[in-house]
Amino acid sequence: MQDKSNSYLFTSESVSEGHPDKMCDQISDAVLDECLKQDNMSRVACETAVGTGFAMVFGEITTNAKINYEEIIKKTITKIGYTNEEYGYTPDNIKIFNFIGKQSQDIKAGVDIALENRNDKSDDIIQQEGAGDQGMMFGYACDETSEKMPLAISLAHDLLKRLSIARKSKEITYLRPDSKSQVTLEYDENHKVTRVDTVLISTQHDENVTSNQMKNDLYQKIIKDVIDSNLLDSNTKIYINPSGRFVIGGPVGDAGLTGRKIIVDTYGGAAKHGGGAFSGKDPTKVDRSAAYAARHIAKNIIETKIANKVEVQLSYAIGKAEPVSIMINTFGSGKIKDSQIEKAVKNVFDLRPSAIISSLKLRNPIYEQTATYGHFGRNDLSLPWENTEFANDLEKFF
């Protein structure tokens, strides 16, 4: 009998595009994308709130773009799937509020010209732009999956992506847009996944479906389709809508706000988080761009096979171009010292905000697609921070 005295459990969750908070992330990023399509130098900090009978956008935007906020909100809600009057929330039965203002001139001045170059009249734009805020950002990568993400969050996302396909294709006819998933994995003493301990799916549904039908359909068509059968065993616990009914959902069931699912957006709790949300922010906000850069660094490190997992921390001061600090942590899995990897990173990656924006092409309108099912490990999307083109350059320093 296998000794499990040193085994442990780890859990991650995901939420669908119909979850109220995720609806807000998508609306905020749809506004950002439209601004960037028309004016790629737009400064955007767009927040969204939804609740019974309303959707509201607010925040600070400075742009030459002409934005029809009502049209963007209604189009996003329709795409998500809130089109049936029975859901209690559709584009045509809500009030829309717009409280968008303009970016503070004090913040703008600090971003336009970095602290290092306030008295420098050169044309080096990369050197002159400063960070749009202070803070610390984390990136992470590991060798648990081909996309170099923790398995628990990858499975949680994949369950809901599969559920969304089943809903939109009418493969399962009674599903509604709001849903959540949660996956608990068991690890052995060597930090290797041995099995799936628990799978939880809570999904909004039509009134007339029975609990038994849902349990059978979601196990046979969703769970078994997504999770490797070798990880499921007779002791795996499966919970489908453990609260019972889930007819009332979306903004009618719960209010939503941009930026309230930051762990879902990143690594499912497997790595630290600086606390800054992504959605609705243009790339001068290092909450977003530096988090993407940190993931880019981490993934390239893992590609070199110098470590099994790595966490990268970057920190910035508002108005300053160069990061205040860079930290590499391989959790003891590195074949060389973390400090040596850190030196290689400093030599290979330019981490000034404008350099990040340029190298990762962050002025392109690519953001709405990231607002659901995670910003990282997305093999279904072509995201520049998922590329590993710097792995060979890093290896030269090892």
Q: Residue 273's CB: how many other CB atoms inside 10 A?
A: 17
| pLDDT, position 39 | 96
Tokens encoding 100: 């968008």
| pLDDT, position 102 | 82
| pLDDT, position 136 | 96
| pLDDT, position 104 | 54
Full-model pTM: 0.93
Tokens encoding 60: 């600070």
Contact 294, 139 (CB under 8 A): yes
Strand partners, 181: 14, 201
How buried is residue 332: exposed, middle or buried, by Cβ count under 10 Å (0-12/13-18/19+)?
Answer: exposed
How buried is residue 85: exposed, middle or buried, by Cβ count under 10 Å (0-12/13-18/19+)?
Answer: exposed
Mean pLDDT score of the chain, rounded to an integer?
93
Q: What is the DSSP string of 52-64?
A: TTEEEEEEEEE-S
- What's the chain's Rg over C-alpha atoms? 22
Strands lying side by side in the sheet with 193-205: 8-15, 175-187, 193-205, 237-240
Residues in the chain: 398
Q: How many angstroms separate the CA atoms of 153 and 146, rounded?
A: 13
Contact 258, 28 (CB under 8 A): yes
Q: Residue 9's CB: how many other CB atoms inside 10 A?
A: 11
Model confidence pLDDT, tens digit, residues 222-241: 999 999 999 999 999 999 99
The strand pair at 95-101 and 54-62 is best described as parallel
| pLDDT, position 1 | 46
How buried is residue 388: exposed, middle or buried, by Cβ count under 10 Å (0-12/13-18/19+)?
Answer: middle
The parts of the chain modelled with pLDDT lower than 70 are 1-3, 103-128
The strand pair at 193-205 and 237-240 is best described as parallel
Contact 163, 155 (CB under 8 A): no
Q: Is residue 144 classed as helix, strand or coil in its secondary structure?
A: coil
Q: Residue 244's CB: how many other CB atoms inside 10 A?
A: 6
| pLDDT, position 398 | 87
Contact 16, 31 (CB under 8 A): no
| pLDDT, position 4 | 73
| pLDDT, position 194 | 97
| pLDDT, position 116 | 57
| pLDDT, position 19 | 98
| pLDDT, position 126 | 45
Where residue 35 falls (left for φ over 0; alpha for ψ -120 to 50; beta otherwise) is alpha
Active-site positions?
A: 19, 21-22, 47, 60, 180, 246, 254-255, 260-261, 281, 285, 287
Q: How many angstroms separate the CA atoms of 105 and 20, rounded?
A: 32
